[in-house]
Chain A
Amino acid sequence: MIITVASGKGGTGKTMVAVNLALVAASQRPGVQAASGDAKMLSRYDTRPLLLDCDVEAPNVHLFLRPTITGQEEVVLPVPEINFERCTFCVRCAEACRYNALAVVREQVLLFSELCHGCGTCSLVCPEGAVREVPEVIGLIEEGAASTPLADLDFAHGVLEVGRAIAPPVIRQLKRRIRSDGLVIIDASPGTSCPVVEALKGADFALLVTEPTPFGLHDLRLMVEVAREVGASGRTPLPVGVVVNRDGIGDEKVDEYCQSERIPILMRIPFDRRIAEVYSEGGLVIEALPEYRDQFRELYQRIREEVNK
């Protein structure tokens, strides 16, 4: 099962929800619960949940999980390199590039590699065979495992290089780590465009975190639209559920909206200054404030029910 945690608006608590949800899910696996005394040893024989941080522009999960990184992999994009012995400056490559990454000025071909999507069209259209594609590093993938007193998790994240524009290739490469069995929880970036779509593709459930304010509602509506579009294009529809974070700070309009759209509100996290404090230090809510443990367990349970509906 793949659960993607998303929100149109930033800062609603995606990462906090994703990390704590992943940990309660990990602690609840049958093997782990049965052997409460020796949970960690047993868990090595099971598939541990995988938490993927797909917010490659601003990845933050590692700040809370403090994982041990055991593997690294560069993300490269094939960008054009012009062989000027063959190039006739016919301009076809620049005309074909939809991303304006190539320009021909007199006897020169200029490459704006930060705009390149690595599609390879330029080399396809060059009649002289003068365009060769060479790999350029645009990001990094790191993977490893996190061990907390509550449970163990597998972890991986992508880091887009500063100054680079195109995040989806990093997300795509990161998502190759998804195994068909076991639980995968994905922390998406804010927004509603390509990186979010990339993070939502193939998910079994979209968990949308919002706050009860006009900004939260406005962006939740957009996010529901995105989830529906992604679901409609995939092989199976994408069910959605909502977490209302900082419940009580604003108005009732998120509730009214969810009711009218028949979207289940699966959890309400009250506005609690202690959560903000734990979060600010990179702490785990379910560890520092155990009273929230059951609520996250219930959230996980309700997601499973929604997926199996």
Chain B
Amino acid sequence: MSEVVTESESTGGEYERERVPDSALLGAGKFWGMYAGEHAAGTEFMIGPLFLAAGASLQDLILGLLLGNMLAVLTWRYLVTPIAMAKRFTLYYQLERIAGGGLVKFYNLVNGLLFCFLAGAMVTVSASAVGVPFGIFYEVPESTFGFGAASFTLLVVIVGAVMAVVAAAGYQTVARVANIAAPWMIAVFAACGLISLVQMEATSLGALQEGKFWNDAIEFVQEQNGPGAFSFWQIVIFAWLCNGAMHFGMADLSIFRFARSKSSGWAPSIGMFLGHYMAWISAALLFAALIKMQPALAVGPDGKATANPGLLAFESIGWTGILCVVIAGWTTANPTIYRAGLAFQGMLPRSPRAVMTLIAGAVATLAGAFPNLSAQLLGFVGLYGTVLGPMGAIIVVDFYLMKRIGLSDEYAERSGSSINVAVLLAWLLPVGAGLYFIFSQGLFAAYAVIPCWIVCAVLYLVLSKFTQTGSVREVA
């Protein structure tokens, strides 16, 4: 899981309120390079072990991630890219034309807060690595909003403060470090997986097919944490929708508006299959290897099996692993904090960006101080897609259907309204229902993304029939 921030967005932007001109279009290679780096994030070290801890079988993981990532790539290619290339607007400007400036400000606030929680998980992951040499370990308390050990909380505050200050200072340096680190991080992830297999003496085809090392690890975790199961379809849906805000939610319109050819829409495949396939499986193998080699280190003081990303990487590949977790967390937390700052600044346009970024950093650091939030990352990213994904349905319906059924597209722009009530209700009603099922009924969060998306699309069409009244003006 990671955040994608285009250079134009990050630097305050170019073509933010106009079509990207033909002279600024980019070849497919740029997109492949960007997605390769952006999806090898610090949180991959956390998500991989969570699959094992949740009880996913190795076969389901290998096949489920394959299918889910293929579906994600297809969604980027066939849902996002055509609209991005036809309109060539940022997500925010396109939403503003459809939903109105007032509603986009509210969307920005929600988006910014979710970014902060995501960045918080990255702060936690980085702190877990920084703590290893000092003997400060990541522990997960019972309560969702409970602090870990005081020493770990202090470490989170230090790491979070450094990240926030760097993000407030600017984006370019971090982007450059991220570009340089990307091939190395991918190599480290792959090396970690291979070393784990060697440590578990599971390098032969027979051992891999038998999967005893994996089953033993699951048995160990479930002895400590109680029984659990994570089905094939949960893996598929999670892999498909963990970046739901980016593809179903259309956030990556802001990226693909620069695409010269539709083939650029295949670029996310490199990020998916390196970051969300190879890296997740490697990280899960790290946890399995730690359980086999040093089971005592895999159990926290509360007696529960817990994946400590920094420790996992250190036990596998030493200081290189520590550096990888820190850099992977830093290079992805920074643009996320930066982008959250921009979202907050969208709410208060006169406020300095640096101040808003520091506020975003403070919120992210606070979130990072609750280790249970990052331990619940599988649920959080599903929640992220559930809340933001349906806005993409609005854009899809507006682009493909509104004119065909005799309604106005980009209604807020044409009517001059700051809040399109049809969009507001079509977004909030299914998201509210989705959140109810997730928090009250225990629904796996990623399962709510597509139903909310579909209901939002239908509601937007129906409500627009009733709310689009009076004359509208032509827009460019």
Q: Do A and B bind each other?
A: no
Q: Which residues of B contact A (CB under 8 A)?
A: none
